[in-house]
Structure 1
Amino acid sequence: MNWSLAKAKDNLSEVVRRAANEGAQTITVHGERAGVILSPEDYDRLISPYAAMGFKDLLKAMNFDGVDLTRDPTPSRDVEL
């Protein structure tokens, strides 16, 4: 549902309740989208637990069981320069 900023301010409890029960609630200013109120569950789905991880930690968290990560020992081809 769309709410003007003034109406959302006057009915904040209702906006939050609807976000929890019906889904995202859009706030508009002068008819333009300015913000969205989400339920905590919707927000948590958007913010992955991996979002705050560095690349190294992300790789450590991945399951590489059964994946062969050894380097091929075959020498590379000769290239004339």
Structure 2
Amino acid sequence: MTPSNHGPYSRRSPRLAWKLAEAKARFSEVVRLAASGRPQRVTVRGRDTVVVVGAAEFDELQARAKQVTLHELLSQSPLNRLDFGEEGVRSPVRDVVL
């Protein structure tokens, strides 16, 4: 019994998609492959349902998700309440030949 093959994976490479029953029966192999850096998809009734990834990859994804965006960083700044006014300073524009 081999896992189902979805997507662009060749027959020579370890397959990355498993039907749920196959994943349950061969859970050690699913875990081994995921831990080696190859995420494993598990399908239920033909639809992708979960992806098993190694702990290091999961930790990296969690760290990226927790990164503060520039907008959040500037919003939290003590300078976020400064009033710069509605009007900007208009500088003269010179003609440029293109």
Q: Same fold (TM over 0.5)?
A: yes
Q: Kindly indicate whether the alpha-carbon contact (under 8 Å) linking 2:37 and 2:54 is maintained by their aligned counterparts in 1.
A: no
Normalised by the length of structure 2, the TM-score is 0.51
Counterpart residue number, 2:94: none
How far does residue 51 in structure 1 lie from its aligned partner after superposition?
2.1
Unmatched 5+ stretches in structure 2 = 1-15, 74-78, 88-98
1:19 maps onto 2:34 in alignment? yes
CA deviations on 1:40-80 (whole Å, 9 max, x unpaired) are: 01101100177298xxxx85xxxxxxxxx6x98xx8478xx
Quote the Cα distance in structure 1 between the aligned partners of 2:35 and 2:59: 13
- Between the aligned partners of 1:52 and 1:45, the Cα distance in structure 2 is 11
Q: CA deviation at 1:22?
A: 4.0
The residue number in structure 1 matching 2:56 is 41
Match of 1:4 in 2: 19
Aligned Cα root-mean-square deviation (Å): 3.3
More helix by share: 1
Counterpart CA distance in 1 for 2:36 and 2:66 is 26
Please name the residue that 2:47 is paired with: 32
- Specify which structure has the bigger relative contact order, considering alpha-carbon pairs within 8 angstroms and separated by 6 or more residues: 1
Q: Percent identity?
A: 35
TM-score scaled by structure 1?
0.61
